[in-house]
Amino acid sequence: MIERIGVVGAGQMGHGIAHVAALAGCEVRMADVSEDRLRAALEKIGHNLDRQLRRGVIDEYTKAKTVDQIKITTNFADFGDCDLVIEAATEKEAVKRDIFKSLIPHLRDDALLATNTSSISITRLAAATDRPSRFMGMHFMNPVPVMLLVELIRGIATDDATFEEVRELSLRMGKHPVAAEDFPAFIVNRILLPMVNEAVYTLYEGVGSVDSIDMAMKLGANHPMGPLELADFIGLDVCLSVMQVLYEGLADSKYRPCPLLVKYVEAGWLGRKTNRGFYDYNGPDPIPTR
Ligand code: NAD
């Protein structure tokens, strides 16, 4: 049974993964490039646990115990007793490969490795390690403490025991694991991002305004958020990069990124994170930009 977990990368996803792993009772070591980032991550975990406390999801004792379970480090030597290490660092293949190279000499031979990558081939990353059979994808959704899904992706060499151990851990973390094959963007992004891209085409071709497209999908398809609002939430740069991965990885013109999406990204209008995307977020209420 997986009891000690290492998390590499303490960004948006890494601190969320550390949070749910610690809440599930695991001992967690969380690493990043600097103490500052790690302290900022601990602070965010504290805020998110407070929110769960206010909502009655956890009590004071659980909060204190969860915080206590997470140790921060900038040194992979502290990962020597981990049963599983989950890599959740920057989405760049070279960064991930370098991490595995420096991490592996410190790991136990039987330790499992997982990556939270959204778009890089699990099989290719596994091949860059000394343990492709004990390597797999564990793709959490953002924000991790809130979203119930985790996609579990086997590389070509992943063995059944690894998959089962990680599946059992996912359940202990309170997640619903879904198995996906190692194809570009897995399941959720393969379906969701082409819908977002199509919404941008609908805007580009003048079929509807930002307001009418979002309202139509909220009221007509019962979506909690319109596709353009969702694009701003995800980040237009992230939407574009997933479409590029699908377009290149599957070599099918149906995944062609909408030129209007490209233009917004070129303008630096990336959505909520830059206060402007399909909506302008500078005022009290979001205002459509088209
Ligand atoms: P982020 O930029 O918020 O965090 C990445 C962290 O990795 C940063 O804190 C950075 O300092 C750290 N890092 C970089 N190089 C490192 C190294 N050598 N050693 C240790 N830490 C290092 O990114 P994120 O949004 O948390 O994404 C992380 C991973 O999760 C990516 O692979 C991404 O594709 C995937 N993912 C993201 C989302 C999302 O919605 N943001 C959803 C699912 C999966």
SS3 for 1?
coil
Give pLDDT, residue 104. Answer: 98
Mean pLDDT of the chain: 97
The sheet with strand 149-154 has its strands ordered as 70-73, 27-31, 4-8, 84-87, 112-115, 135-140, 149-154, 176-180
Q: How far is the CA of 52 from the centre of ligand 1 (A)?
A: 23
78 vs 82: CA distance, rounded Å: 9
Residue-wise pLDDT for 66-78, tens only, equals 999 999 999 999 9
CB of residue 274 inside a 6 A radius of ligand 1: no
Ligand 1 atom nearest the C-alpha of 118 is: 34
The tokens of 287 are what?
């205002």
C-alpha distances in Å from residue 83, one per residue of 111, 166, 257: 5, 11, 40
Structural domains for the chain: 4-180 (3.40.50.720), 190-288 (1.10.1040.10)
Ligand 1 atom nearest the C-alpha of 41 is: 9
Q: How far is the CA of 175 from the centre of ligand 1 (A)?
A: 20
Q: How far is the CA of 215 from the centre of ligand 1 (A)?
A: 32
Catalytic residue, from 139, 165, 170, 229: name it.
139
Closest by Cα among 148, 217, 149 to 188: 149
The tokens of 203 are what?
């805007």
CB of residue 5 inside a 6 A radius of ligand 1: no
Give pLDDT, residue 205. Answer: 98
Pairing relation of β-strands 84-87 and 4-8? parallel
Give, using CA atoms, the residue closest to atom 9 of ligand 1: 11
Summarize the confidence of residues 119-145 as an average pLDDT: 97
Interacting residues of 97 by C-beta distance below 8 A, sequence separation 6+? 125, 128
Whether 282 sits among the annotated catalytic residues: the reply is: no
Chain position carrying tokens 């601990």: 42
The tokens of 166 are what?
């990680």
Residue-wise pLDDT for 72-106, tens only, equals 999 999 999 999 999 999 999 999 999 999 999 99
Give pLDDT, residue 133. Answer: 98
Give pLDDT, residue 4. Answer: 98
CB atoms < 10 A from the CB of 243, how many?
23
Whether 176 sits among the annotated catalytic residues: the reply is: no
Residue 97 and residue 54 in contact, taking contact as beta carbons nearer than 8 Å: no
Q: Which of 8, 12, 19, 100 to mutate to test the pocket of ligand 1 (most atoms within 8 A of CB)?
A: 12
157 vs 165: CA distance, rounded Å: 16
44 vs 119: CA distance, rounded Å: 26
Ligand 1 atom nearest the C-alpha of 119 is: 34
Q: What percent of the chain has pLDDT over 90?
A: 99
Q: How confident is the model at residue 119 (pLDDT cuts 50, 70, 90)?
A: confident
Q: How confident is the model at residue 232 (pLDDT cuts 50, 70, 90)?
A: very high
Give, using CA atoms, the residue closest to atom 38 of ligand 1: 142
